Amino acid sequence: MRPPPTSFIQDASSSTDDRYSLHGRVQQPYKDLSVEVDPVLSIGLIRLVLTMKLIVDTYLYYRVLFYFLLGGTYEECPFFKERKHAKIQVYSLAMIMWLWNKPHYRNGTFQQDMVKNLRNVAIPGTGIPLSVFCYFKITVYWYLLCVNPFICFMAALNPKNRRDRRSIAVVYGEQLLEPKDWFCYWRMNCRLASLHAYVTGSKDFAMEDKWTFLVEGDKKGVPISPFLKAPAAIVVKDKNEEGGMGIYFFKNASQGGDWIIQERLGNDAFIQGLLPDDAPLSTFRVITASTATIRNAQEGEKPRGGGGGGRKREKSFGEKLVRTLSGKGDLGSLFQKDREGGAAGAGKGPEEEG
């Protein structure tokens, strides 16, 4: 062990000198309370603290995960009382095993849905699709107990994830317990939607099926991407390959097949003029939500945006979007930021800009 610096020993032992009487009264005041600490010792202490944080976060991950896997409830969980994000994250991972063979609104079971949706998502730097872990329960357990913590640790070693000079232990703990990347939010949302659909038994989740959505939209006159109801099937051939090779048959979903046959859509001339020549189809997604449950931070205040507030916001946003695309507005002011909460708001309408 490296011996403590001399100055540290002298300052630490000064509390036993004769500056205090036998009665505990100060005979002379301290002139200098500063302590000179060896930089090497300081770095060592910091590393020790960060190492302990890494160990504690790993312990909490396993402790809470096993708590839920062994039947513990979310409401009675004694852990993460002040860290809701971490509690939700670990609980959602444990829910994989509970949802495993439950019916799924899009596929036969939740397990089958994972196999299908995770086949094009790979572990970074490996090319291994996550779907390989979803065929058997034992491999999912192995992923949760071994692979996931290892991936989080490797992510913490990546310098790109520590550009703000955060330590490996801090990044590791965040990725393990409170991840903020799109993949973790996406999977958490998938588990939440699957749980909600199973518990409520709502038939509305059937609209998640592409073919059901198109058929119902066509019946009700809702604008949808057009699809071909005929022919019953199509044949696609390679223009030069011979010997029965390069030929594919697709049976139309309208005739009981598995394929939705549509003409390829392109961008509007105005939108295409803003994009490269080989740009794919650009889409704009409008997400609506009720404002009845949005409350102010102050407890007891009535909900904001009741009545026609939500409709006015949608109209304001739509008008602003049109003005922005036509060159009359500023894209940066499309959303108005809430100064108190920091959330993006509805933006300013033309009537508010003057």
| pLDDT, tens digit (0-9, with 9 covering 90-100), for 241-269 | 887 788 999 999 999 999 999 998 888 88
Other beta carbons less than 10 A from residue 95's beta carbon: 19
In a domain, 185, yes or no: yes
HSE-CB of 230 using CA atoms within 13 angstroms: 0
Residue 22: inside a domain: no
Q: Do residues 92 and 168 both lie within one domain?
A: yes
Strand partners, 109: 103
Residue 131 lies in a domain: yes
The last residue of one of the domains, among 254, 273, 292, is 273
Which runs of E-coded beta strand occur in the chain? 233-237, 247-251
Query: In one letter, which amino acid is 138?
Result: I
Domain around 61: 37-206
Q: If DSSP codes are grouped into helix, strand and coil, which group holds residue 162?
A: helix
What's the pLDDT score for residue 62?
95
318 or 8, which is more confident? 318
Last residue in a domain, options 227, 250, 273: 273
222 and 128 belong to one structural domain: no
Say if residues 235 and 248 touch (Cβ distance below 8 Å).
Answer: yes
Tokens 């409830």 belong to residue: 73
Clarify whether residues 172 and 226 are in a common domain. Answer: no
**Which residue in the block uniquely carries the two structure tokens 């916001």?**
313
Domain total in the chain: 2
122 with 148, same domain: the answer is yes
Q: Is the pLDDT of residue 134 over 90?
A: yes
Distance CA 314, CA 288 (A): 8
Same domain, 106 and 162: yes
In the prediction, which pLDDT does 163 show?
Answer: 74
User: Can you give the length of the chain in residues?
Assistant: 354
Q: Has residue 225 got a pLDDT over 50?
A: yes
Strands 233-237, 247-251: pairing is antiparallel
Nearest by Cα to 226 from 256, 259, 268, 264: 264
Q: Is residue 145 part of a domain?
A: yes
**Same domain for 180 and 131:** yes
Q: Position 90: which residue type?
A: V
User: What is d(CA 102, CA 228) in angstroms, rounded to the nearest whole number?
Assistant: 34
Positive or negative, the CA dihedral 18, 19, 21, 22 is negative
Instruction: Specify whether 85 is located in the same domain as 134.
Output: yes
pTM here is: 0.63
Predicted pLDDT of residue 292: 60
Please state, in angstroms and rounded to a whole number, the distance separating the CA atoms of residues 163 and 51: 20
pLDDT digits (tens, 9 = 90+) for 314-326: 444 444 444 444 4
Say if 237 falls within a structural domain. yes
Query: Hunting for tokens 């961008």 — which residue is that?
Result: 267
Last residue of a domain, one of 173, 206, 239: 206
Instruction: Classify residue 15: in a domain, yes or no.
Output: no
Structure tokens at 63: 């402790």
| Residue 334 lies inside a defined structural domain of this protein | no
Asked if 156 and 99 sit in the same domain, the reply is yes
Confidence of residue 123 (pLDDT cuts 50, 70, 90): confident
pLDDT-based confidence at 311, cuts 50/70/90? very low
Indicate whether 170 and 41 sit together in one domain. Answer: yes
Query: 257 and 163 share a domain?
Result: no
Quick one: 198 exposed, middle or buried, by C-beta within 10 A (0-12, 13-18, 19+)? middle
pLDDT in the model for residue 39:
62
Q: Are residues 64 and 119 in the same domain?
A: yes
Distance CA(101)–CA(85), nearest Å, equals 26
Instruction: For residues 120 and 229, state if they share a domain.
Output: no
Please give the pLDDT value at position 267.
Answer: 87
333 assigned to some structural domain: no
Lowest mean pLDDT among 78-87, 242-251, 286-295: 286-295
**CA gyration radius, the chain:** 30
Cα(60)–Cα(89) distance, integer angstroms:
12
Rounded to the nearest 10 degrees, the angle between the axes of helix 39-69 and helix 168-177 is 10
258: phi then psi, degrees, rounded to nearest 5: -105, 0
